[in-house]
Each structure stands twice: as C-alpha cells, then as structure tokens.
Structure 1
Amino acid sequence: MDTLLTADFWIGIFKIIWIDVILSGDNAVVIALAARALPPEQQRKAILWGCGFAIALRVALTVVAAQLMQLPLLEILGGCLLLWIGVGLLQGEAPSTTSTHTPHRNAGMFTAVRTILLADLVMCLDNVIAVAATAQGDMTLLVFGLALSIPLVLFGSTLMIRLMERFPWIVLLGAALIGWVAGETIINDHLLLGVSQQYPALKYIAAVCGAALVLAVGLRLKQRQRSATD
C-alpha cells in the first residue's frame, strides 16, 4: 500500500498512460482494417474476439518480451509478416450485406480475428516492452499498463471503423502506417542493430520504403482483381 503513495509510482502511472495512448494507435488501425469488411453485426464480435486473444498474447509476451527481442531475424520476420498483412488488408473489399450464408460469414469473421492476432503479435511488442521497462519489476504498474491498453484498443478500433466508412481514403493511410511500422520493425532487428545505430536515417528510409511497398503492391493487386472481375 505504501508504494501507491510514492511519487515514483504515480510518475510511472503517467508514463504508462502516455505510452499506451501513443502505442495503441497502430494496433487499433490494424483491427479496424481487418474488421471493416465484415457486416456490422460481426464487426463487434471480431473486435472482441481479436482483442481477447491479443490480451492473452500480451500477458504471455510480457514475461519473455525482452529476451525475444534479442533474437536475430525475429523482427525481420515480423516486419515481413506486417508487410504481407498490410497488402492483404488494402485489397479487402466490403462484402455484400445481402448475403446470409452463415458458414461464409463466419469464415470471414475468423479470418479477421486471425489477421488481428497475427498483426498484434508483431505490433504489440513495442507496447509490451515499453510498459515492462517503465514498470521496472513493479507488478502493479505492469498489470495497470496491460489493463489500460485494452479499452484504448477497443475504443480506438471501433472509432477507426466509423471513420473508414465515412472517409475511405483513411484505409490507404492505415495500410501505409502498417507498412511504416513494418519497415521500422525490420531495421530495428538485433542483426541490423550496428548498421541502424551507425546510420540513424536508415530507420526513416526503411519506414518510408515499407509504407510505399505496401501501397504499391496492394493497389496493384487490387487493380488486377478489379480487371479480372470486369
């Protein structure tokens, strides 16, 4: 109880709130992109299931996050996975709302949940590590940080879906953001640490290249899909 009265504890709380607000944004974008193509009644289910699995994943990752990030090639593989996810999400089209074929609709929801989980596996690492580093072994702060990220992602993803429905160009920005994070993830890999530290500008170059690659490949494949259906 005495810990709750110390200035260091409340400073830690403030830091964790700020970290969660900043780092939960990209996760919310991924969830919104994955769920936007589902019928409205399935969007909430996909978000809840996706976030539920993501929460369990974050708890598990918190224990081993620091050790995982030291493994060479892990972030390169994660970044490549994000590039693939970004391209796939950019191609997604909203299904017909008149369709009532339940197995097909359920398959769409499970696909969205799988996409959310895969993307969160990569993108939540920075959040988990930042919160763990700020908590410095304080389990109260650690649990608070994990718990706070849940409503932020839930609310953020629901808001992003509404914005994407009203402003379709936000989908392009969301896909570009995923590509940006993918580029940063790749260049931050332990294997490339020496090069990225020697040339700090590479971080931004890799991020821009990742965003450009997702947009270029995603839009090209989407154009081919449209040509094939015409």
Structure 2
Amino acid sequence: MDLTSFSLGDPLLWGKLFEIILLNVILSGDNAVVIALACRALAPEQRTKGIALGAAVAVVLRIAFTVVIASLLSMPFLRIVGAGLLIWIAVKLLVEDEGQDEDSIAASSKLWKAVQTVAIADIVMSLDNVLAIAGVARDSMPLLIVGLVISIPLIVVGASLITNLLTRFPILVWAGAGLLGWVAGEMLDSDPWLVTRFGAELLHQLEYPVAILGALLVLGLGYLIKSRRPDPAH
C-alpha cells in the first residue's frame, strides 16, 4: 500500500492509521510499566524528563527497527515466518503470567541511566509491536512512521491509564491478541511466494477469511492453553 495513492479523505487510509495506533497502544501495556519502573527512583523534577527522553530515544530506535523489518517482509517466505511469530506472540500475550518481569526492571537515580533502561527495554519488548505494525503498514513507510509517532507519546502520557485499563478490562487483552491474529492472517495472505504460486486475485479473495481464521486460531489456542492450566487458587 502506497500512501501517495490515498487522499486524506480516504477512509481506508485513516482505518489503517487507526489500526496501527490501536495495536501499538494495546500491545504496549508492559512497555508503559517498564517506563514507570525504570524512572521510579528519579527525583520528582527529573522523572518527567526521564520518561520523555527515554520515550524519544525509543521512538527513533523503534521506527528504525520497524522500517528494517517492513523492508525485509517484501522477501519471499518472510511474511509466512512473521505470521507464525505473530501467532506465537499473540497466544503468549493471553497465557503469560501478569507482572512476572516487573521485579527485574532496575530503577535508577541517574537520569541518563534511566533513559538507557527505558530505551533498551522498549526495544527488547517491542517485537510484537514491530511485526504487527509492519504487517498493517505493508509498503507504506510514511503511514508506519506517522502511526508510531502518534501512538508512542500517547503510551508515555497514559502509561498508568493503559495498565489500569488492561487490568480492569481483561477483554482488551483478548481483543489485542485477536487483532494480532487477524494481522498475522493478513501477513500470511500477502507473502510474495504465495502470491506468485497462487495468484494475487485468489489471495485477495481469501484475505478476510484468512485474517478471521488467524484471529480465531489465536483465541482458540489461548483459551485451550488457559483452560488446561491448574487454577492457582486451588
């Protein structure tokens, strides 16, 4: 998808932009917690500066990382691999224990040390965001960059709000996982090798069915794994 082929009044353009922002916000709950934890030991007057600087560095690094991944996805088979990784990440999002990594996040009383921690942790934890956003943006780098630039400040400003929403409304986690599965299906359906083998017209007709199957696969696997786990209350 080329951004230059769309006008600002095109609902498809705004739909894709909204999808990028929504995915990044839903999937960044843990990242928001990391930002808060890494900066918690800073002096009050430095805390806001640390969060802002860490987020700014993370924006630059994540855009570069995402652009590289998006470029690689134009190669045969890599979208198939990316779809498989997204399915795995989405299921992991549903079944992993909450808060398991929080105690391992080092707080720092030094501003630049905290900034470094925020930036590195954000990149390390952002594979799901990068793959999902690259899958949605397809070949439109401007759309990808605009979506990231808009959504990351929202995450920083609303770090505690995002975490509270995900805790209060667990259905949002399932919605995010299902959306990841949907994007995985779209990514699989657009792999250059499959397009060459089966034809662009057939894959275009199968785009939504495959996306729906991807979402259902994630939700089904997540439910199955969680239902087979022993109840910690017993």
- Class of the TM-score when normalised by the shorter of the 2 chains: 0.5 to 0.7
Bigger helix fraction: 1
SS at match of 2:64: helix
Q: Deviations over 1:84-131 (max 9, x none)?
A: 1001110133338xx9x94x455xx99974664211331232437324
Does the Cα contact within 8 Å between 1:20 and 1:149 map onto a contact in 2? no
Taking structure 2 as the reference length, what is the TM-score of the superposition?
0.64
| Matching residue within 18, 35, 56 for 2:61 | 56
| Matching residue within 129, 134, 137 for 2:139 | 129
Q: Deviations over 1:146-167 (max 9, x none)?
A: 3663242341574543322222
| Residues 174 and 71 (structure 1), Cα distance of their counterparts in 2 relative to 1, 3 Å cut | same
Counterpart of 1:163 in structure 2 is 165
Give the C-alpha shift of residue 56 in structure 1: 1.7
Say whether 1:24 aligns with 2:33.
no
| Residues 20 and 52 (structure 1), Cα distance of their counterparts in 2 relative to 1, 3 Å cut | farther
| Alpha-carbon distance in 2 for matches of 1:131, 1:40 | 27
| Alpha-carbon distance in 1 for matches of 2:26, 2:212 | 18
Counterpart of 1:138 in structure 2 is none
| Alpha-carbon distance in 1 for matches of 2:230, 2:55 | 29
Does the Cα contact within 8 Å between 2:55 and 2:152 map onto a contact in 1? no
Which amino acid in 1 is paired with 2:127? L
Q: Deviations over 1:169-213 (max 9, x none)?
A: 121111111111111111111111243522433111211111111
Paired residues, number: 201
Counterpart of 1:213 in structure 2 is 217
Say whether 1:225 aligns with 2:229.
yes
SS at match of 1:93: coil
| Alpha-carbon distance in 1 for matches of 2:190, 2:149 | 26
Taking structure 1 as the reference length, what is the TM-score of the superposition?
0.65
Does the Cα contact within 8 Å between 2:55 and 2:153 map onto a contact in 1? no
Q: Percent identity?
A: 24
Which amino acid in 2 is paired with 1:179? G
Give the C-alpha shift of residue 50 in structure 1: 8.1
Counterpart of 1:173 in structure 2 is 175
Say whether 1:85 aligns with 2:61.
no
Kindly report the root-mean-square deviation, in angstroms, between the aligned alpha carbons of the 2 structures. 4.3
| Residues 221 and 112 (structure 1), Cα distance of their counterparts in 2 relative to 1, 3 Å cut | farther
| Residues 90 and 53 (structure 1), Cα distance of their counterparts in 2 relative to 1, 3 Å cut | same
Structure 1 segments unaligned to the other structure (5+ residues): 1-8, 135-144
| Residues 171 and 70 (structure 1), Cα distance of their counterparts in 2 relative to 1, 3 Å cut | closer
Give the C-alpha shift of residue 227 in structure 1: 4.2
| Alpha-carbon distance in 2 for matches of 1:111, 1:56 | 9
Does the Cα contact within 8 Å between 2:31 and 2:121 map onto a contact in 1? yes
Counterpart of 1:142 in structure 2 is none
SS at match of 1:200: helix
Say whether 1:149 aligns with 2:133.
no
Structure 2 segments unaligned to the other structure (5+ residues): 41-50, 107-117
Does the Cα contact within 8 Å between 2:26 and 2:172 map onto a contact in 1? no
Does the Cα contact within 8 Å between 2:185 and 2:214 map onto a contact in 1? yes
| Alpha-carbon distance in 2 for matches of 1:116, 1:105 | 12
